[in-house]
A and B are shown apart, each in its own frame.
Chain A
Amino acid sequence: MEPLQSAIPLYVVSVSLAASLLIACSRKAPNLREFWTVGAACLKFVLVLSLIPPIVRGHIIECPLFTVLPGLAMHFRVDALGIGFAATASLLWILTSFYSISYMRSLREHAQTRYFTCFAIALSAATGVAFSGNLFTTFVFYEIITLCTFPLVAHKESAEALRGARRYIVYLLGTSIAFQLFAILLAYHAAGTLDFRNGGIFPASVSAAYLAIVFMLFVAGIAKAAVMPFHSWLPAAMVAPTPVSALLHAVAVVKTGVFVIFKVILQIFGVDTLMRIGAGIPLAYVASFTILAASVIALRKDNLKARLAYSTVSQLSYIVLGAALLSPSSIIGGFAQIILHAFGKITLFFAAGAIYVATHRTEISQLDGVGRQMPFTMGAFAVGAFSMIGIPPFGGFLSKWYIAIGTLEASALPILLVIALSTILNACYFMPIVYRAFFRSPLPETDSHHTPGHDSSPSVRRRIHEAPALMVIPLVLTALATVVFFFMPSLVLDLAKIVSADALGGRLR
């Protein structure tokens, strides 16, 4: 179908950008400042929703912006892949906003204005990536995300936070300049365009070796996808406040990475070209290695956020795997994983933050009996964990199912084993947490020296003592969402099937 012209993608991106200015100007009035955040988040989501119906009907939405150079233009083109990512990010931004406000105020964090300003810019840039119609636009927003999340990671301004933030920016900026930009240059040199096109942009005359090099440079240059060995920025970024880890490092930043990998595989190279040069399966094996290795590392982490970080590294590679297998179902599964992992992982991070606010605990070994004290939080945590593992009736099952079918379609049986093994490993590192929280008796008071100045005499600890409601409600909602996705899979799969059909030129079953 012919593309529709619309300025709504531009509005979606600029809503949060405008909000960031208003937030920065409302330094003196915290309530007004928070109003801007929430207002922009809701407006953004509504705008994104308004784009969904035409896309489900099969249209593509075009929104050209401006030309930087002859050949390089800022251009939005929204397709099913992009809208799925944008809708996920903007919906979760609403929930994260409430959660953030409550978290930051409960902990009396400093520099809240900077925090909310950067957060809004990061969301703008994430939707910018989602909507971008060519690699240049993607690259611009990709770099904006890196730069504007630096202050969020370095938020505490302690030596440790700065060290983590430095590693974060060195990895992300370094790989994007050294490899991604190189790849973009090579792609432009060979194809003469950077526009995303289903089926790829390279003429058949380009040699397989050249394409293979460009492909490798892209994979190395998109470090946000955290494929090993370019993953170690993600655990380092966990020094950030928990809402940042939740939205940015489970949704916006890392999903930008895998989203760009998806785009590059499907719309820069195209399935046929990658089949021809045989680059898909090697990438699938790299992703499989990452899935297993990160899970094993996660097993050994006692810090809750560190374990979640490695779990993210592992789960992201499922998405890369889905794209790399180049089969109809695996693409559906990879796309579904972008959305479903977002809801599951944000639940887990929200829970980690709620535990920290309520009890000031960060280590898994301190979590004995916490489930009795915080039943909602830990209940949601359990749901999120089940979804991560991929047990029905939780959303995560869907994506794993489709990726598993995809391995059969691509006749890559060893990878099916990887998925099975990874599921076991996931259970091994998530279930002990749930077990501790609900089935162990609370630790004696002497052990919790990590909770200075917090009133927690035994009588209080047996009672329910949750984090503030504004934190608990979002995490319960995201946990419920994973269940909803299982029972209403069409929410995800309708778009996923369009993505897959577009990528394979309508050859869906």
Chain B
Amino acid sequence: MIKEHAPVLVILVPLLSAVLVPLVGMLRNRFCWHVAFAATHVSFLLSGLLLFRVQTNGKISYRLGGWEPPWGIEYVIDELNSFVLVTIAFIGFLATLYARKSVVAEIEPVRIPAFYSIFLLFLAGLLGIVITGDIFNLYVFLEISSLAGYALIAASRKREALLASYNYLILGTIAATFILIGIGYLYMVTGSLNMADLRERLPALYHSKVVLTAFAFFSVGISLKLALFPLHVWLPNAYTYAPSVVSAVMAATATKVGAYVLFRIMFTVFRVEFDLEVVSITSILLVLSSAAIILGSVLAIAQTNIKRMLAYSSVGQIGYIVLGASIVNETAMTGSLVHILNHALMKGTLFFIAGCVLYRTGIEDIAGLRGMGRRMPFSMAAFTVAGLSMAGVPLTVGFVSKWYLALGALRADLWYLVPVILVSSLLTAVYFGRIIESIYFGRAEDGHSSGSLSRERMHEAPTGMLVPALLLAVLCLVFGISASTTVGYAEAAARLLLGGR
């Protein structure tokens, strides 16, 4: 039963728990976390099961309510989305583990049940986007996760968070509207909302003005959603002022889902031939993503706030993911897809640690990290590993992604992209290297904490926050040392998207 209905249960469990949480909250505030934890745990296990089944038996198609596609809603789990699904469910699970202590410190107690409820809605929305094979259903889930996302950012105690959330709300709504318009146009000319069905019907209409317009709306809407330069302006503030756990989850999953939607629309709903020959969207994306990679890193160097720096670095990393898709060959696409997981691991670690530091010391500035290596050795070790990984040091996950992207660029005869990747690696090495140096060699200044004496003593973050961060940091190494598994999944997904290019 569970095996058969796993595709829908992955979504339903967090969705229904989102309703359950406020009810439990009426009884006991602290039980909310237990419900959320159980829900994300189940969701993660189910997504793992789905990945396993797809790897052994191939594509799964699940008909919601037994209605036949293309009329009913179909959930399709293939090599691409099973991989993304596990990534999101895993990060969601770890974030819930992390949230227990972090949320108490950063959110008003009365709002905690509501927070967990919205948090689960947010995850359910993301998982839904990934799993569905129906383009309108995708929009519904997109709105669920977006609306929940605005609320999560605003849940912070900081006043700036309200403005950041409002900004994101305006731009996010524009994006969602664009996507909806795109869906509407496609429906208008094809009469179908099922992705597989659209794929069959669209080629005859590729030169129709309506389809071209629809594609334009999709591209801009999705680029806004995934914060592709220059449509990234909502992102830095949102990540900076959101509660730590929210920043971590958003950076690690939400933009990735945006990238996933982009790939789905570009390569599944439309075909590669359309992207290359009819609209040449790939060359536009190539330029934008290269700009994102370089400028994201440059802007990150200029930041003084830890989370804002990480946010700008995310802008650059999103550039990597899009770059791989716009090179349009299997090697680069593999790099791009494996980077969805790898970046989730790295950025998750970094935001988790930023939250740990905030929890223990109240420090938000990079300058405050001076000498922190003695005080929070485990946290800082995790930060160092993730930082080195961001810079692409070999035997970490960052290297694996960049290797495939650069090799893909060479194989497509786009050698000038290699310097883009390498220069951004260097810039990343600069901004992380500076921090790592001050963590271990900087002398702590007084005034940031209660007393200079306490700064020399070890005072780690609570175990519940440290364990998820350390786990992610260890995975940064594990999947960097033995990348065959993750690359294998990504390769299968790339083959699916590009069909042997």
Instruction: Say whether B392 faces chain A, with CB atoms less than 8 Å apart.
Output: yes
Q: A67, A157, A173, A186: which contacts B429 (Cβ < 8 A)?
A: A173
Q: In the complex the two chains form, is A69's CB within 8 Å of B403's CB? A: yes
Chain B interface, number of residues (Cβ within 8 angstroms): 31
The proximity string for A residues 179-203 relative to B, scoring 1 for CB distances below 8 Å and 0 otherwise, is 0011001101100000000000000
B21 smallest CB distance to A (angstroms): 42
**Structural contact, A68 and B481, CB atoms closer than 8 A:** yes
Question: A174 vs B483: C-alpha distance in the bound complex, in angstroms?
Answer: 25
Any B CB within 8 A of the CB of A140:
yes
Q: Is the CB of B441 within 8 A of A162?
A: yes
A217 to B470, CA, bound (A): 37
Instruction: Flag if B393 contacts A143 (CB, 8 Å).
Output: yes
CB of B213 closer than 8 Å to a CB of A: no
| In the bound complex, CA of A72 to CA of B331 (Å) | 14
Once bound together, how far apart are the Cα atoms of A274 and B6, in whole Å? 60
Q: B400 interface residue, CB < 8 Å from A? A: yes
| Cβ-defined contact, B483 with A68, below 8 A | yes
Is B394 in contact with chain A by the CB < 8 A criterion? yes
Does chain A have a CB within 8 A of B484? yes
**Please, how many angstroms separate the alpha-carbon atoms of A162 and B403 in the complex?**
31
Instruction: Report if A281 contacts B (CB, 8 A).
Output: no
Residue pair A69, B483 in contact (C-beta under 8 Å): yes
- Tell me the bound Cα distance from A169 to B403 in angstroms: 22
A72: which of B391, B403, B411 is its contact (CB, 8 Å)? Answer: B403
Stretch at the interface among B96-104, B282-290, B322-330, B420-428: B420-428
Chain A residue nearest in CB terms to B429: A173
Do A178 and B422 contact each other (CB < 8 Å), given the known contacts A143-B394, A162-B441, A166-B437?
yes
CB pair B394 A140 closer than 8 Å? yes
Which residues of A lie under 8 Å from residue B203 when comparing CB positions?
none
Give CA–CA (A180, B56) in the complex, Å: 40
Encoded as 1 (CB less than 8 Å from any A CB) or 0, chain B from 363 to 391 comes to 00000000000000000000000001001
Supposing A140-B394, A169-B433, A185-B406 touch, asked if A67 and B419 sit within 8 A by C-beta, the answer is: no
Contacts of A166 in B (CB 8 A): 437
| A136→B443 CA distance, assembly (Å) | 36
Chain B residues contacting A140 (CB-CB under 8 Å) are 394-395
Q: Of B410, B415, B426, B480, which one neighbours A177 at CB under 8 angstroms?
A: B426
User: Residues of B contacting A177 with CB < 8 Å?
Assistant: 391-392, 422, 425-426, 429
Cβ–Cβ contact B481 & A188, under 8 A = no
| In the assembled complex, A402 has its CB within 8 A of some CB on chain B | no
Cβ contacts under 8 Å, B484 to chain A: 67-70
Chain B 39-69 interface residues, beta-carbon cutoff 8 Å to A: none
Chain A residue at minimum C-beta to C-beta distance from B415 = A186
- Complex contact B483–A185 (CB within 8 A): no
Determine if A68 and B400 form an interchain contact, defined as CB atoms under 8 angstroms apart.
Answer: yes
For A63-81 the 0/1 string (1 means CB < 8 A from B) is: 0001111101000000000
Q: How far is the CA of A140 from the CA of B403 in the complex (A)?
A: 13
Are A69 and B433 touching (Cβ within 8 A)?
Answer: no
Q: Is A343 located at the chain interface by the 8 A CB criterion? A: no
The CA of A136 and the CA of B403, in the complex, are separated in Å by 11
Given A143-B393, A151-B440, A177-B426, answer yes or no on A185-B407 (Cβ-Cβ < 8 Å): yes
How many of chain A's residues touch chain B, expressed as a range? Answer: 20 to 34
Q: B208 — which chain A residues lie within 8 A by C-beta?
A: none
List A contacts of B487 (CB < 8 A). 69-70
Task: Please tell me if the beta carbons of A66 and B482 are within 8 angstroms of each other in the complex.
Answer: yes
Interface residues of A: mostly helix, strand, loop or mixed?
A: helix
| Complex: A506 Cα to B418 Cα, angstroms | 38
Complex Cα gap A378–B113 (Å): 77
Question: What separation, in Å, do the CA atoms of A48 and B393 have in the docked complex?
Answer: 28
Closest to A157 in B: B441
A310 at the interface (CB under 8 A from B): no
Question: In the assembly, what is the distance between CA of A69 and CA of B491, in Å?
Answer: 12
* CB proximity of B293 to chain A, nearest CB, Å: 14
Residue ID in chain B nearest A180 by CB atoms? B422
Among A67, A69, A185, residue most surrounded by chain B Cβ atoms (within 10 Å): A69
Give the dominant DSSP class at B's interface.
Answer: helix
Complex Cα–Cα for A271 and B87 (A): 48
Report the nearest A residue to B419, measured CB to CB. A182
Tell whether A254 is near chain B: CB-to-CB under 8 Å: no
A66 pairs with B481, CB closer than 8 A = yes
Q: Is the CB of A185 within 8 A of B441?
A: no
Cα A186 to Cα B411 in complex, Å, equals 10
What sequence of 0s and 1s flags, for each residue 235-278 of chain B, a beta carbon within 8 Å of any chain A beta carbon?
00000000000000000000000000000000000000000000
A139 contacts chain B at the CB level, 8 A cutoff: yes
**Closest residue on chain B to residue A150 by CB atoms:** B437
Chain A residues with Cβ below 8 Å from B400 are 68-69
Q: Which of A169, A181, A182 has the largest count of B CB atoms less than 10 A from its CB?
A: A181
Assess the A186–B483 pair: CB atoms within 8 A: no
Q: Which residues between 430 and 446 of chain B lie within 8 Å of chain A, taking CB atoms? A: 433, 437, 440-441, 443
> Of A70, A174, A186, which contacts B426 at CB under 8 A?
A174
- Report chain A residues within 8 Å CB of B415: 186
A190 CB → nearest B CB, Å: 9
Complex CA gap A470/B472 in Å reads 46
In contact, B423 and A178 (Cβ under 8 angstroms)? yes
Q: How far is the CA of A144 from the CA of B42 in the complex (A)?
A: 40
Task: Find chain B residues with CB under 8 A from A143 CB.
Answer: 393-394
Contacts of A188 in B (CB 8 A): 407
Whether B418 pairs with A185 at a CB distance below 8 angstroms is yes
| Interface residue A237 (Cβ < 8 Å from any Cβ of B) | no
Report A-chain residues with C-beta under 8 Å of the C-beta of B423: 178
Q: Are A162 and B437 in contact (CB under 8 A)?
A: yes
Contact of A154 with B by CB under 8 A:
yes
Which chain A positions have C-beta within 8 A of B403?
Answer: 69, 72, 185
In the complex, what's the smallest C-beta–C-beta distance from B7 to chain A, in angstroms?
31
Give Cα distance in the complex from A176 to B468, angstroms: 33
CA distance A178 to B391 in the complex (A): 12
Closest CB in chain A relative to B237 CB, distance in Å: 31
A178 B426 Cβ-Cβ under 8 A: yes
| B482 contacts A185, C-beta separation under 8 Å | no
Tell me the residues in window 445-501 of chain B with beta carbons closer than 8 Å to chain A beta carbons. Answer: 480-484, 487
A166 to B430, alpha carbons, bound, how many Å?
10
Q: Are B441 and A154 in contact (CB under 8 A)?
A: yes
Residues of B within 8 A of A157 (CB): 441, 443
Q: How far is the CA of A356 from the CA of B157 in the complex (A)?
A: 58
Whether A181 lies near B482 (C-beta < 8 A) is: no
- Pick from B411, B419, B425 the residue with the most CB of A within 10 Å: B425
Most chain A beta carbons < 10 A, residue from B394, B433, B480: B394
Most A CB contacts (10 A, CB to CB) among B388, B418, B441 go to B441
- Closest-CB distance, B415 to chain A (whole angstroms): 8
Instruction: Provide the bound-state CA to CA distance between A182 and B411, in Å.
Output: 14
**Complex alpha-carbon distance, A251 and B477, angstroms:** 30
**Chain A nearest Cβ from B125, distance in angstroms:** 34
Bitwise, B190-218 to A at CB < 8 A (1) or not (0) is 00000000000000000000000000000
The A146-167 residues at the B interface (CB cut-off 8 A) are: 147, 151, 154, 157, 162, 166
A189 touching B481, Cβ below 8 Å: no
Chain B residues contacting A151 (CB-CB under 8 Å) are 440-441
Are A189 and B407 in contact, CB atoms less than 8 angstroms apart? yes
Q: Find out whether the CB atom of A68 lies under 8 angstroms from the CB atom of B482.
A: yes
User: How far apart are the CA atoms of A177 and B399 in the complex, in Å?
Assistant: 11
A189–B433 CB distance below 8 A: no
With both chains docked as a complex, state the minimum distance between the C-beta of B403 and any C-beta of chain A, in angstroms: 7
A sample of 10 more A-B contacts (CB under 8 A), given A177-B425, A185-B418, A189-B411, is A66-B482, A68-B480, A157-B441, A166-B437, A178-B419, A182-B419, A182-B422, A185-B403, A185-B410, A189-B410
Task: Name B's A-contacting residues (CB within 8 A).
Answer: 388, 391-395, 400, 403, 406-407, 410-411, 415, 418-419, 422-423, 425-426, 429, 433, 437, 440-441, 443, 480-484, 487
- 13 A-B pairs with C-beta separation under 8 A: A66-B481, A68-B395, A147-B388, A151-B440, A166-B437, A174-B426, A177-B392, A177-B429, A182-B419, A182-B422, A186-B415, A188-B407, A189-B410
Top-8 shortest CB links A-B: A189-B410, A140-B394, A69-B483, A185-B406, A177-B425, A178-B422, A177-B426, A157-B441
